């Protein structure tokens, strides 16, 4: 089977994707800040600040997936943090561009992006052809991020797929893990008035999209990495006790309080982005978990 090199392989999506690829028989290797060739998935060194990368890793790779980037909601958005969020994505793609031009081209490059590209758009249904958001850090950073991918693709002529990832549901990290904590004491909260549309996806389905992009030669260009059932934030929160088969007291977390506590980073939970998955479905991709309650039940029961 082919060898898949993953940058960002130890992150939430990267860990699960590495497991699912291995289960299918692929050889999986990682790019990491520290080399560890004895790890479960051998890690080869790259340094995006110094713009250095392991030649051996690139030589082995049949396919390269880039999931790397500083966490968007991990810390307050200071000026330095926002620059790090951008640089960790843009400079990573620039380094891969240099490696593909001087060491070896993979058969395909599959890059993560994010639906933050569209900005806060209310109930507007958004496709891959929709324009970028015209204000806010999420849209600004995603536009720069995608430009670095387009620069790589155009200069190297490598077939490239870009997956704009939505809100990934997992019990092992991200938004759902934090939301589930309060339900341990049978309470929960939705954000603002709860009307912001969340375009969510089960972690296995988003990982399967990356595998689909490897296995389907025609999957090139931009695709939305979201499920088919975008929902108001309030509906997702109310689905959690249903999935857990328990009762809970659910209250609003007012937008003004979120702004006071989180500052500009509150955009990450208050932005409304109703994103379509139809283009990916048209390539023959089928969701295993298209419906919210069943998706939550699976995640909770399997602890993934």
The crossing angle, in degrees rounded to 10, of helices 174-183 and 233-244 is: 60
The residue written with tokens 């988003």 in the block is 206
pLDDT digits (tens, 9 = 90+) for 125-182: 999 999 999 999 999 999 999 999 999 999 999 999 999 999 999 999 999 998 898 9
Any domain includes 294: no
Mean pLDDT value of segment 72-88: 94
DSSP letter, residue 296? H
The pLDDT of residue 73? 86
Any domain includes 260: no
Any domain includes 240: no
Inter-residue contact 120 to 271 (CB < 8 Å): yes
The residue written with tokens 């960790």 in the block is 88
pLDDT digits (tens, 9 = 90+) for 195-207: 999 999 999 999 9
Domain CATH number, residue 284: 3.40.50.720
**Count of domains for the chain:** 1
Any domain includes 234: no
pTM of the full predicted structure? Answer: 0.96
Any domain includes 76: yes
Any domain includes 109: yes
Inter-residue contact 219 to 283 (CB < 8 Å): yes
Give percent above pLDDT 90 in the chain.
96
Helix (H) and strand (E) counts in the chain: 11, 16
pLDDT digits (tens, 9 = 90+) for 247-282: 999 999 999 999 989 999 999 999 999 999 999 999
- The CA distances from residue 56 to 31, 35, 53, 116, in Å, are 11, 12, 9, 34
pLDDT digits (tens, 9 = 90+) for 220-247: 999 999 999 999 999 999 999 999 999 9
User: Residue 150 belongs to what domain range?
Assistant: 3-168+200-226+274-288
């Amino acid at each position: 089977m082919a060898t898949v090199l993953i940058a960002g392989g130890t992150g939430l999506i990267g860990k699960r994707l590495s497991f699912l690829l291995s289960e299918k028989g692929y050889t999986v290797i990682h790019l990491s800040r520290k080399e560890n060739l004895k790890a479960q998935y051998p890690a080869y060194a790259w340094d995006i600040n110094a713009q250095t990368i392991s030649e051996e890793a690139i030589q082995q790779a049949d396919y390269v997936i880039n999931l790397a980037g500083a966490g968007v909601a991990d810390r307050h958005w200071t000026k330095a943090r926002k620059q790090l969020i951008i640089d960790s994505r843009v400079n990573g793609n620039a380094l891969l561009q240099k490696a593909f031009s001087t060491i070896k081209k993979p058969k395909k490059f599959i890059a993560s992006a994010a639906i933050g590209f569209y900005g806060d758009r209310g109930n507007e249904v958004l496709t891959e052809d929709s324009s970028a958001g015209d204000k806010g850090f999420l849209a600004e950073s995603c536009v720069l991020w995608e430009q670095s991918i387009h620069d790589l693709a155009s200069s190297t002529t490598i077939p490239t797929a870009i997956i704009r990832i939505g809100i990934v549901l997992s019990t092992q990290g991200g938004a759902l893990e934090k939301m589930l904590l309060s339900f341990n004491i049978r309470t929960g909260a939705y954000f603002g008035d709860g009307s912001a549309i969340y375009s969510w996806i089960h972690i296995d389905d988003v990982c399967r999209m990356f595998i689909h992009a490897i296995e389907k030669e025609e999957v090139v260009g931009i695709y939305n990495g979201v499920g088919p059932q975008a929902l108001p934030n309030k509906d997702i929160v109310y689905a959690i006790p249903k999935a857990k088969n328990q009762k809970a007291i659910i209250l609003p977390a007012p937008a003004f309080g979120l702004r006071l506590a989180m500052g500009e980073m509150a955009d990450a939970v208050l932005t409304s982005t109703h994103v379509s998955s139809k283009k990916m479905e048209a390539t023959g991709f089928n969701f295993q978990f298209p419906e919210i309650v069943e998706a939550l039940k699976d995640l909770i029961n399997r602890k993934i």
